[in-house]
Amino acid sequence: MSLVEIPSRLEHALSKAQRGVIVLAVDGLSSDVAKQSWLAASLSTLSSTVPSTAATAWLTALTGVPADVHRVAGTVYRNGSGLVHAINGTPAIPDLPTVLERHGATVLAREIDLLEGTWAKALLRGCTRLPSPPRHKLTAQAEDPPLLVANVVADVDKALPDARLLWTYVNVDDHVHANGYDESVHEAMLRLDAHASRWAAQGWTVVAHSAHGQVAVDPDPGLVEAWDAIVREECAIPSGGAGRMRWLYPEPGREDAVFDRVATTLGSTATVHHATDLGLPQPEAGPVVAVAASPAFPIADPSKKFEHGGLSRDEVDVPFAVWHNVE
């Protein structure tokens, strides 16, 4: 079971809901933390996308189609003759309806509201967007998960009287990248569980899910340099991918040689694949793909303490929770 099921699950919830459905889109939350903190919910596990990253996964979750249909291969990928950053740039994205658009959702987009590229437009097209806090307040909240939840809850409470389907973005991802799943994340998710139970008692069906989890990383500086050397010496354009899954665009005729060089260079820190074997869309994804098998894997941003994008259980397992009125 995967994120492609999210639209049908939300539509089923809407058909049964007494007052309506609240969707908490909790970015970066692991399945294990959800099991420890969403104590009042009915909880199941879905699989994220390949790669397990927000740009790909949230679009799949709202359109119900995989990456080979919506063509957002990862965070950074080939778009035309060069690379595009999926979230900040203007990639070409097919015209795909979302479950939110079909049901006239009200949206608290928060950080997504600050994005001007085509990804955000594709994700939340046709929705009624409520005003989001300014950037500096969103940054402060992302650094303090309990404060984040308090503000999300206040905004949800304010929006509920006029909504039938309310979708809100909950950005745990930034905090986890820097700090991991510390006590503040657990506390915030316990508080979210309590408020979800309160909304359920008021007749709302509350759904929460993530797009991916994260794992601890400790990239080897030597491997970071070695990866950059392969890109510089063997590739037509810079590398793409997402976190713990990265791919290369070898010069014509060099694919097999680059595959072997990457496998030898990264050794036990990675598994190396052909993009088609992972179901990655072509030509968006480079044909040679390295997937992390160790914390030492050379991620693109070595300053991060936790990262995602790979195929490990902790990255791929996605919590899907539902709070019902138990009366």
For residues 65 and 56, give the distance between their C-alpha atoms in angstroms, rounded to a whole number.
Answer: 10
Q: What's the residue count for the chain?
A: 327
For residues 141 and 241, give the distance between their C-alpha atoms in angstroms, rounded to a whole number.
Answer: 28
Q: Scanning the structure block, which residue is given the tokens 């795909």?
A: 96
* pLDDT of 326 over the 70 cut: no
C-alpha distances (whole Å) from 277 to each of 79, 116, 272, 274, 287 are 21, 33, 10, 5, 10
* pLDDT of 244 over the 60 cut: yes
For residues 45 and 43, give the distance between their C-alpha atoms in angstroms, rounded to a whole number.
Answer: 7
Within the chain, where are the H helices?
6-16, 31-37, 54-63, 67-70, 99-102, 118-123, 135-142, 145-159, 173-179, 183-201, 221-234, 255-266, 313-316
For residues 75 and 116, give the distance between their C-alpha atoms in angstroms, rounded to a whole number.
Answer: 16
* pLDDT of 325 over the 90 cut: no
For residues 201 and 17, give the distance between their C-alpha atoms in angstroms, rounded to a whole number.
Answer: 12
Identify the pLDDT of residue 327. Answer: 55
- For the four alpha carbons of 115, 124, 52 and 26, in that order, the dihedral sign comes to positive
Burial readout 121-160 (b: 16 or more C-beta within 10 A, e: otherwise):
ebbbeebeebebbeeeebeebbeebbebbbbbbebbeebb
Confidence category of residue 324, pLDDT binned at 50, 70, 90: confident
Average pLDDT over residues 217-240: 97
Q: What is the pLDDT of residues 172-208, one digit of tens each?
A: 999 999 999 999 999 999 999 999 999 999 999 999 9
- Mean pLDDT of all residues in the chain? 96
Enumerate residues 6+ apart whose C-beta is below 8 A from 260.
none
Identify the pLDDT of residue 81. Answer: 82
Identify the pLDDT of residue 303. Answer: 94
Average pLDDT over residues 285-299: 98
Percent of the chain at pLDDT exceeding 70: 99
Phi-psi label, residue 12: left if phi above 0, alpha if psi -120 to 50, beta otherwise: alpha
Q: What is the pLDDT of residues 55-73, one digit of tens each?
A: 999 999 999 999 999 999 9
DSSP 8-state assignment for residue 118:
H
The sheet carrying 106-108 orders its strands as 42-47, 317-323, 204-209, 20-27, 165-171, 106-108, 128-129
∠ CA 192-62-26, nearest 5°, is: 20
Enumerate residues 6+ apart whose C-beta is below 8 A from 110.
132, 133, 138, 152, 168, 169, 170, 171
* pLDDT of 253 over the 70 cut: yes
Q: Of 307, 277, 304, 279, nearest to 292 (Cα)?
A: 307
Average pLDDT over residues 7-25: 96
Enumerate residues 6+ apart whose C-beta is below 8 A from 136.
none
